[in-house]
Chains A and B, each alone.
Chain A
């Protein structure tokens, strides 16, 4: 298990740590070893069977899914993956439940410290009374996380944020970086390297949850004013305290990315990570239009996401869509079925200004390989693109305005 490095991390007993270590190890086994095993079973057994009866290979992810579903290895892989996913959150609940009061006091103290120190720059938290959380967030427990991002149990609650932060540390088995910021560090850093002329004054992170990837933009572009928005109040409360604990000045606001409360042409970079796949298609179109609206001419919109089905092999498409079928991710496949270039075009972006990148994780590959990628583009079609596995490559797409 990855130990978070910031002040808000939960105090755990020896046994609680051991349980988390076990779940992380189990996830690594399922997502590395068993995933490799399943591919071998598919190629050696399932696909030849399909070819014999159909006279061709499966044409897309759903055909692979249908063919592999009766296979026993698939059943064990899937059943163990669901169990591991559930155990991720279950391993966090006991220490979290015990620490809820302490966590709240810490968060309050951090906010006070900030006021006392009167730092030249500091962040802020703005919640909207009576804010309406969209049903696609309020009605489901995404990736089997009971309570989802927005669940609240008392006034000024931030437990859901802590559940997500500490759960993600177990879930990611080290692949998301020391403070779960590998996506942010890899991508914000890549953009700084690739576009040295870019000097953003204002940066916006959409659907930022606990701000774990928002902070990287602040690190890479220290002169920029960085904003993070989300619909979930408990995540934002936690994000603000987390950023303050890490000494990062970030402005968190409760807002729906489909209807941003920012003026036209007010940001130089609009970013999101692991966000669009949680939104129904209609909402995605609204979000893209809003991103276009709030961007200044010459600004960059960039979404870190799962790679689209149109750019992957049938097997890899099936593999990534597993979550949509079995991990309470109803909008995951519908998003991956969309073509990113078209999404950008329909939002008003010039198709000639479309960009997409496959960026090696800086934590996994190290600075050298990672920085070389700024000048050496990689193909999307790779079984490491967007897949939580050893050697992960982050995918992102977007456009210049």
Chain B
């Protein structure tokens, strides 16, 4: 085994690893009614995964960051699709979105929402401040 640390799946999360060969396998695929209650495929990896940083939490955080990056990218692609559809259907002129200026009212609402977004992003640091305040 490599020197990298791995986690092993123990206890409750123990996967049903040993998949037995099907005794009833037939020479040709036959029509089987689609059972809506089919057992979901297992998504956890047997044998765990390797970690590289001194604290595995860093690897985990990096993973979260990348997954978040993936969702950000997904939103961008979706927005691009939406924009393309709008332009095709005549609801939006090419370049209109980039040239758009918010009204003063919209601008002020967005500013408040932005502040709330940033506050929630760094809420974890605020916890420490609030604990100190209570002491």
Contacts and interface: CB of A to CB of B under 8 A. Distances in A.
Contacts of A338: none
Contact of A87 (B17, B58, B67): B67
Given A23-B70, A101-B34, A127-B25, A79 B2 contact: no
B66 A26 contact: yes
Q: Which of A18, A96, A133 has the most CB of B within 10 A?
A: A18
Interface in B90-128: none
A76 B30 CA distance: 48
A325 B4 contact: yes
B44 interface: yes
B43 A93 contact: yes
A192 interface: no
B81 to A, nearest CB: 6
Q: Classify the interface of chain B: helix, strand, loop or mixed.
A: loop
A159 B62 contact: no
Contact of A140 (B26, B46, B59, B67): B46
B62 A83 contact: yes
A75 B41 CA distance: 31
A79 B38 contact: no
Contacts of A78: 50, 52
Interface in A301-319: none
Contacts of A233: 21-22, 25
A120 interface: no
A129 B23 contact: yes
Given A83-B62, A83-B63, A138-B18, A146 B70 contact: no
Interface residues of B, number: 52
A254 B28 CA distance: 12
A147 B70 contact: no
Interface stretch (A105-113, A178-186, A363-371, A389-397): A105-113
A163 B42 CA distance: 12
A154 B24 CA distance: 11
A29 to B, nearest CB: 11
Interface in B38-56: 38-47, 49-53
Nearest to B72: A22
Given A101-B34, A152-B19, A80 B66 contact: yes
Interface string B55-95: 00011001100110111011011100100000000000000
Given A79-B52, A83-B66, A18 B43 contact: no
Contacts of B19: 133, 138, 147, 150-152
A240 to B, nearest CB: 8
A349 interface: no
A136 B58 CA distance: 32
Interface string B8-41: 0000000101110111111111111011101111
Contact of A146 (B21, B41, B50, B73): B41
Nearest to A143: B45
A216 to B, nearest CB: 24
Interface of A: 14-15, 17-19, 21-23, 25-26, 69, 74-76, 78-80, 82-84, 86-87, 89-90, 93, 96-97, 100-102, 104-105, 107-108, 111, 124-133, 138-141, 144-147, 150-156, 158-159, 163, 233, 237, 240-241, 254, 324-326, 328
A126 B47 contact: no
Given A140-B47, A328-B47, A15 B74 contact: yes
B2 A155 contact: no
Given A97-B40, A139-B18, A144-B45, A21 B73 contact: yes
Contact of A79 (B22, B26, B59, B81): B59
A237 B30 CA distance: 11
A79 B53 contact: yes
B3 interface: yes
A19 B70 contact: yes
A35 to B, nearest CB: 16
A75 B36 CA distance: 43
A369 to B, nearest CB: 34
A345 to B, nearest CB: 31
A147 B43 CA distance: 8
Contact of B25 (A100, A131, A141): A131
Contacts of B59: 79, 82
B45 A15 contact: no
A141 B29 contact: no
A17 B113 CA distance: 30
A128 B25 contact: yes
Choose among B21, B49, B59, B63 the residue with the greatest number of A CB atoms under 10 Å from its CB: B21
14 contacts: A74-B52, A79-B52, A79-B58, A82-B52, A105-B34, A129-B26, A133-B19, A140-B47, A146-B45, A147-B42, A153-B39, A154-B32, A155-B22, A159-B41
B25 A75 contact: no
Contacts of B25: 127-129, 131, 156, 233, 254
Given A129-B24, A146-B45, A163-B41, A75 B52 contact: yes
